[in-house]
Amino acid sequence: MASKLMDLVYWKSISTTGVVFTGMVVCLTTLFQLSAITVLAHIFMGVMCVTFPLRLYYKLLEMLRCNPGLHPFQAYLDHDSSLTDKETVMLVEEVVLLIAFGVAELKRLIFIDNVFDSLKFVLLLYMLAYVGVLTTGLTLIITAVIAVFSFPLLYKKQQVRIRRIVRTYKAFEKKIRNWCLSVYEAVRSSRPAAAASKAPAVPAPKQKVKAK
């Protein structure tokens, strides 16, 4: 399953990927005008407009003894798409681990386990809130589909240049982080020194003069 998905994303078969990509974009675009139930109903009716006449045609050939009783979609009917017990357990474990990882990551970001990661998360939320005002969720889904079918192929073709840009960004981020840490440490170390300078001086105890 994963290998087939990667073949689609990387356009191994241009015709298959083109059909899947175009179909997904067209179906999502029609949701702007129609509901999801209406779109699904029309898709299935369109498919059955092809399969039903073809099945009747083969049935007619069988009645005329021109066809030895072959079903035109027997390969699809014989294909076992059910999951075994082991595959079901593995799939459930992956989903549970993914949910647990998401919850742990949200807790870490919301309750400020790392200041810089939480700041980046706040920036991402602000950007999403701003984007949500300008666009709808359906537009974001269509954009995500286009990105899934475009960015992996773009990364494969421009891998060296993209890695160079990522290294430059990481170096800049590291420089900013080190600068913020140095400022924080300087402010933190200056506070005890200022508090010590403001503290009142304790008078030295008077020594008693010994009588001769």
Residue 137 placed within a domain: no
| Residue 181 covered by a domain | yes
Question: Which pLDDT does position 194 carry in this prediction?
Answer: 58
Please state the domain count of the chain. 1
- Does 165 map to a domain? yes
Model pTM score = 0.54
Q: Give the pLDDT of residue 104.
A: 92
pLDDT score, position 212: 44
Helices (H), the chain: 2-9, 14-30, 36-63, 74-78, 85-110, 115-134, 137-157, 159-198
Structural domain includes residue 172: yes
Which pLDDT score is estimated for 206? 53
If the chain, 212 residues long, is cut into consecutive pieces of 10 residues, what is the mean pLDDT of each piece?
Answer: 74 83 86 84 90 88 77 79 79 91 91 86 87 80 87 84 87 86 79 58 52 46
Domain around 181: 160-190
Within a domain: 175: yes
For residue 10, which of 166, 159, 163 has the smallest C-alpha distance?
Answer: 159
Distance CA 108, CA 147 (A): 28
- Angle CA 135–141–144, to nearest 5: 110
pLDDT the model gives residue 49: 92
pLDDT of residue 127: 87
152 by Cβ neighbours in 10 Å (0-12 / 13-18 / 19+) ranks as middle
Residue 177: inside a domain:
yes
Tokens of 24: 């997904």
